[in-house]
Amino acid sequence: MGYAELIRTLELLPEDKRTEVLDFARFLAQQSDSARSVHRTLGDSEFGELFRNPVEIPSFTPLSREEANAR
């Protein structure tokens, strides 16, 4: 299917259906972009970055396991 055939087919559709086709094409393009930028592992993601470089809060001490389970 070439561009010319696609355009001819789109011209046969009513305006609301053309909009629907355009929305779907944008969705597919976005999925394609997302598939290319998918991280190989969780460690390569932003989530993994947080574990490698945790946010430190001054004067914060986490609860011990016993303290957390007592609540």
Tell me what pLDDT residue 39 has. 59
58-68 per-position pLDDT tens digit: 999 889 999 99
Q: Is residue 69 assigned to a domain? A: no
Say if residue 11's pLDDT is above 90: yes
For 22-52, what is each residue's pLDDT tens digit?
Answer: 999 999 988 887 666 665 787 777 888 888 8
Give this prediction's pTM.
0.46
| Helix runs in the chain, H state only | 3-12, 15-36, 46-52, 65-70
Number of structural domains (the chain) is: 1
Residues of the domain holding 49: 3-54
49 φ, ψ to 5°? Answer: -60, -40
Does residue 62 belong to any structural domain of this protein? no
**Sequence-ordered list of residues with C-beta below 8 angstroms from that of 54, at least 6 positions apart, any chain:** none
